[in-house]
Structure 1
Amino acid sequence: MRIRWLTAFLDFPSDQFGAEVTFWRAIAGSTVSPPRGEHREFASLEPFNGDPHLRVQRIHEGPGGVHLDLHVDDPKSAVDESMRLGANIIRDNSTAGWMSLTSPAGFVFCLVAWQGESERSRPIRWPGDTISIIDQVCIDVPHDAFDREVEFWSAITGRPTRPTSRPELVQLSRDPALAVGILLQRTGRDDPSTSASGHLDLAATAVEDEVTRHEGWGAQVVDRFERWTVMRDPVGRRYCITSRNPRTGQ
C-alpha cells in the first residue's frame, strides 16, 4: 500500500467541539472549512497555503482523542494488507470511502480514499519570530506492546525507524512528501493504559515563546523537559511543543 497523505484527526465530544475547534484553529494559524458529513460532524483546519493535514470531528460517545487518517488509492485493498499486518476493523464505512481500524495495540486509524492532497503547508512565523507547525502524531503505547506496535507502523507506512536520544521514543523516518510524521512512545510499566492512544506534537524554533502564545489561548504547562514541554489544552487534552526544525520535522 502506498500512503499518499496523512491527516491528524482531533476527535471532540459534542459539548467541547466549538471551543476546542477555536483553540486549535488559533494554535494552527488556520481557518475552518464548512462542516461536512452526514451529521455535519467533520471539518478541516485550512492552512493559508498547501493542503489540510489537520481535521476535527464531533463525536457523540467517548472522551475523544487523536487518530490518523491514511489516504490511499484503494482503501479496500489497503484494509486487507492492514489486517495481514495485525490491524482489526472496527467500522466498515466503505460505501462512504473509508474504513476505521485499530492497530495491534489499539490505536485508531482510518483508511480513506486519496483526493489528490499533495502540497505541504508551510510553518507560520509568529510575532516575535518564533516559527511553528503542528506536524507530528505521537502514539503512546503500553510498555509490553511497544515493539509489536513499532513493527506494525513501520510495515504499514513502509518507513524505517530512526533512533532518538531517548530509549522510550522511536521515530519513523519522515516522508518528505507528507505533512505529518509519526513518533511512537513506550509508556512506563506503571501506566494503567491498556491500549494505545495519541497526542499532537508541534515543532517550534523557540519552545518557551511558543508556550507563552499557547498560554494566551488558555493552555497550561504540565511538565518541562530539555527538548519539549508538555501542555494541556483548555479541556485537558495533552500535547507537546518540541524543539525541532519546523520545516523538516527533524
Structure 2
Amino acid sequence: MAHRSRLAGFIIDCQVDDLGVATDFWSKALGLHVGEHYVDGAAEYAAFTGTPADLHVEVQKVEHPSRVHLDIEADDQDAEAARLEALGAKRIGWVKRWWVMEAPTGQRFCVVKMREPGKGVKPNDW
C-alpha cells in the first residue's frame, strides 16, 4: 500500500525527577526556545521551538535510562512499520499512539502519526 513518511525529529529521553532542569539544559545546549510543556498520562514532555527544518525536538521524562531516539512520522503507521521490517527492523510494541521499533543495529525509534504533511520537508512516497 502506498504511503508517505519522513524524519519527524528527535526525542531526548531523560531519566530525571525534574524535567524542568533537563529542559533548561537542552534548551541552552541546543540554542532552542522552550515551547509547549504537557503531560500525557504518566508521561511528561517539553517541546522546543525554532528547530532546524521544522524538526520536532522535545525532552521526555522516562523511567528507562536516558538516551536520544528519533521519530519517523507516517500517514500510515502500519505500512511504514512493515516497510521498515522488510529492511530488517523489528516491532517492539504499540505504545499509546505509535510503534516502538528497533533497527537491525539495536537503536530504538518510533513510528508516529504524521502531524502536518504540508509543513516542513516533503515526505517520501513509498
Q: CA deviation at 1:82?
A: 1.1
- In 1, are the aligned partners of 2:51 and 2:57 still within 8 Å (CA)? no
User: Deviations for 1:228-250, whole angstroms, at most 9, x for unmatched residues?
Assistant: xxxxxxxxxxxxxxxxxxxxxxx
Higher strand share: 2
| Higher RCO (CA 8 Å, separation ≥ 6 residues) | 2
Per the TM alignment, residue 110 of structure 1 is displaced from its structure 2 partner at its CA by: 0.3
State the TM-score, normalizing by the size of structure 1.
0.42
Query: Contact conserved, 1:45 with 1:52, CA < 8 A, in 2?
Result: no
Q: Which residue does the alignment assign to 2:113? A: 113
> Could you tell me which residue of structure 1 aligns to residue 100 of structure 2?
100
1:38 aligned to 2:45? no
Report how many aligned residue pairs link the two structures: 118
Return 5+ residue gaps in structure 1 as ranges: 120-176, 179-250
Q: 1:69 aligns with which of 68, 71, 74?
A: 71
TM-score after normalising by structure 2? 0.79
Runs of 4+ in 1 over 6 A off after TM superposition: none
| CA offset digits 1:157-203 (Å, max 9, x no partner) | xxxxxxxxxxxxxxxxxxxx27xxxxxxxxxxxxxxxxxxxxxxxxx
Q: Which amino acid aligns with 1:81?
A: R
Counterpart CA distance in 1 for 2:37 and 2:20 is 13
Structure 2 SS opposite 1:83: helix
Aligned 8 A contact 2:19 2:61 in 1 = yes
Question: How has the CA–CA distance of structure 1 residues 50 and 6 changed in structure 2, closer, same or farther, with 3 Å as cutoff?
Answer: closer
Identity of paired residues, percent? Answer: 25
Distance (whole Å) between structure 1 residues aligned to residue 7 and residue 107 of structure 2: 18
Q: Based on CA coordinates, which of the two structures has the bigger radius of gyration?
A: 1
| Matching of residues 37-56 of structure 1 within 5 Å | 37-47=40-50, 51-56=54-59
